Structure 1
Amino acid sequence: MTYLWLALAFIAAAVIAGVIFARQGAQPGETGKHWKAVGLAFAALAVLTAVFDSVMIGMELFHYDASHILGVKLGLAPIEDFAYPLAGVVALPGLWMWLTRIRKQSSESRTESRLKGLVPQAVLASRPVSWINTAYPFAAAMLLTTREIDWVLVVGTFYFLIPYNLAMYGINDVFDYESDLKNPRKGGMEGALLQPHLHRPMLWLAAITNVPFLLVLAFAGGPAAWISLTVSAFAVVAYSVAGLRFKERPVLDSLTSSTHFVSPAVVGLALAGAEVTPGLVILLAAFFLWGMAAHAFGAVQDIEPDRQAGIGSIATVFGARRTVRLAVVLWLVAGLAMLATPWPGPLAAIIALPYIANCAPWWNVTDTTAARTNVAWRRFIWLNYGSGFLVTLIFILHWSLTS
């Protein structure tokens, strides 16, 4: 089978699924806007695919058998490569619309059973837009260390992609329900508003989907992996559950949140048996500072609902202005720290600049206007994708220099 037929199969399945999902999930008058957005998204992904694939092919990281492709290329990227972003952009937005509509319908129904709507709400609670933020560090850490794809890499990447996020955000949404009721941001991309009858099933679902993966990954590693997995799992639980609630302990909340994103990389390094070097320690420290800055800045927009709910956070204690300034400083130090890492690590220093530029306009924000920073926070979510692209290019350069 040639790549063309395989690609066409993916596209056909995606188109069918995308059309069905869009019809089921779209509100009246939304269909036209939906497909225009799909077109714009694919145009952006096509450009990134052409650049990204051309760079990798140009560096001879992989190649295609000429007998299996048409020979039509954009740059160095075969036309077949564009099938996968096309399939994703056609199917996934419709799926999101459908799941969102199911969530709204299920929350309005008073006769639903105890478990009805659990899966759609669990997907929303896991923040699909942020899945990559935890899976990527793990996969990159393992792949750059071992330089091979094995079952541990595949299992670990899947775990940190979905089950891990389900636990991290699902547990948080359960224990934050009362405060989330007062938070206008909740109920969509920035957090689900789980109905009370789903709280206990959500906790069970988080446990059932996480414990087996943790055991398998622990079995695959040694003491270093056991410790890092324990710290990672503890941080996920301790951040939200009653009795610990690290999210209500100023500064510790940002430290714990950063651990959520750095620990997958540490787990990957531990499973791969990576050598601990000063450069690696500095890189992880820079990543950790980035995570603290992200959490601190994100907490600013919730100052009012958090105070109404009696929740303490780094932002409610320091105040909006000081917290924003702290976030800017942390991102700046993270960028400067990357200058001390081995080449091509210093190139990553520039990645701090978009975050600083996004945050700095709020340098003098007040507690009464803190909610307006949500505009910058929404940009931050998408900045992560652009930063991930740049980090990937740096990883590719590192791979080529050390191979």
Structure 2
Amino acid sequence: MLSFMFKISRFRFWIYTGGTFVVGYALAVNTLGDFFRPDYYIYLVYFFFLANVFIYGVNDYWDGETDKNNPKKDEKEHRIINSEKKNLLRIIYLIVGISLILLLFQTNLERILFSLFLLLSYFYSAPPLRFKERPFLDFSSNYLYIMPGIFAYSIVSNSLPSLIILIGAYFHISAMHIFSAIPDVEYDRAAGIKTTPVFIGEKYALILTLIFWLILSVIVITLADFRLLSFLVLLYPLFPFMLLIKDNLDINKLYWYLPYVNTALGGLLFLALIIHKNILNLYA
């Protein structure tokens, strides 16, 4: 069962939930001692692995029609066959059970945030809401990937991050979703799924992605007081910009560089936050 869970978890994307959790936690910590709390490690495992099994397990269960002609299910991801669906359903129930147990030990704020994560993760793919088929709601509901970070922040501080951080996160994750949906336009259209790129067209989807990532860049650079390393965030709008000005670039290949960029910049942000917090403590 564990090997099957690994296959459906899409390990390339573990960083999108686990990394968000780690960065959100680092944003709220007061001392390095906060990283030795047991709940940090419990949710670290949950958001790096189990959360991804749940998100993509639900997605695979309901997306059979969409996935059957999509070559990435053969090249980069595991394609669910009918004989695996019962086992997949058992795994989804298992993770729901674990999630319900975790809810029992959470504060009210943590329960709300954790429940929002579960609901967005489920209804992004599952009917009757199935946000992924609703233009503009598809990328907005992708805020589910930010929820682990907000949840992590609340574990330490029992509060929410500042509004400007929440807004910046919205533009980043929305751009990520739109950009990732563009390579699937042909297969989504054939399956009758109307995503934002299907609805507005690939060119306008790239323009919207560019705008969203430029807004994120302005927020990040401003919050970082124009420090040199903060300008690395401009790597994100560079992706759609290159595709808009160069016809010979293949988004299907370019897209798979994004996990590396996210991992590198997320790791850099985590280290910057830890160093900053430690410096503050030295002079406290």
Distance 1:209 1:180 in 2: 23
- Percent of paired sites with the same residue: 22
Aligned twin of 1:283: 165
Amino acid at match of 1:287: A
Gap runs ≥5 in structure 2:
none
Q: Which residue matches 1:350? A: 231
1:100-115 alignment runs, 5 A limit: none
The residue type equivalent to 2:257 in the other structure is: R
- What TM-score results when the alignment is normalised by the length of structure 2? 0.89
Does the aligned pair in 1 maintain the 2:154–2:160 contact within 8 Å? no
Q: What SS does the corresponding residue of 1:162 show, helix, strand or coil? A: helix
Amino acid of the structure 2 residue aligned with 1:219: L
Coordinate RMSD, CA, aligned: 2.3
**Residue from 82, 107, 110 that aligns with 1:222:** 107
8 Å Cα contact 1:344/1:398 also seen in 2 = no
Going from structure 1 to structure 2, the CA distance change for 1:173 and 1:346 (only over 3 Å counts) comes to: farther
Q: Offset of 1:136 from its aligned partner?
A: 2.1
Give 1:377's match in structure 2, choosing from 244, 247, 255.
Answer: 255
The Cα of 1:376 is off from its aligned counterpart by 1.2
Residue 268 of structure 1 is matched in structure 2 by 152
SS of equivalent residue, structure 1 residue 240: coil
Whether 1:324 aligns to 2:206 is yes
Aligned residue among 218, 233, 243 for 1:362: 243
Provide the rounded CA distance (Å) in 2 between the counterparts of 1:204 and 1:355.
Answer: 38
For residues 307-336 of structure 1, the C-alpha deviation after alignment (integer angstroms, 9 at most, x for no partner) is 011111011001000001111110110111
How has the CA–CA distance of structure 1 residues 135 and 352 changed in structure 2, closer, same or farther, with 3 Å as cutoff?
same
How far has the Cα of 1:122 moved from its partner?
Answer: 2.7
Using CA pairs below 8 Å that are at least 6 residues apart, which structure has the higher relative contact order? Answer: 2
Matched residues in 2 for 1:401 and 1:344: separation?
17
1:234 is matched with: 119
Correspondence for 1:389: 267
1:180 aligned partner, one-letter code: D
1:272 partner amino acid:
V
CA 365–274 in structure 1, closer or farther in 2 if over 3 Å, else same: farther
Decide whether the 8 Å contact of 2:14 with 2:52 is kept in 1: yes
Aligned equivalents of 1:130, 1:172: Cα separation in 2: 14
Q: Distance in 2 between the 1:364 and 1:182 partners?
A: 29
CA gap 1:184/1:315 in 2 versus in 1, 3 angstroms: same
Task: Tell me if structure 2 keeps the 8 A contact 1:143–1:153.
Answer: no
Q: Is the 8 A contact 2:26 2:273 kept in 1?
A: no
Q: Which residue of 1 aligns with 2:220?
A: 338
In the alignment, the residues of structure 1 paired with residue 226 and residue 134 of structure 2 have an alpha-carbon distance, to the nearest angstrom, of 33
In the superposition, relative to structure 1, how do residues 275 and 226 fare at CA in structure 2: closer, same or farther (>3 Å)?
Answer: closer
**Which residue number corresponds to residue 296 of structure 1?**
178
Larger-Rg structure: 1
Scaled by the length of structure 1, the TM-score of the pair is 0.64
- When residues 401 and 281 of structure 1 are mapped into structure 2, their CA distance, relative to the original with a 3 A threshold, is farther
- For 1:194, what is the secondary structure of its paired residue? coil
Question: Do the aligned residues in 2 keep the contact of 1:338 with 1:348 (CA within 8 Å)?
Answer: no
Contact 1:246–1:252 under 8 Å retained in 2: yes
- Give structure 1 stretches of 5+ with no counterpart: 1-117
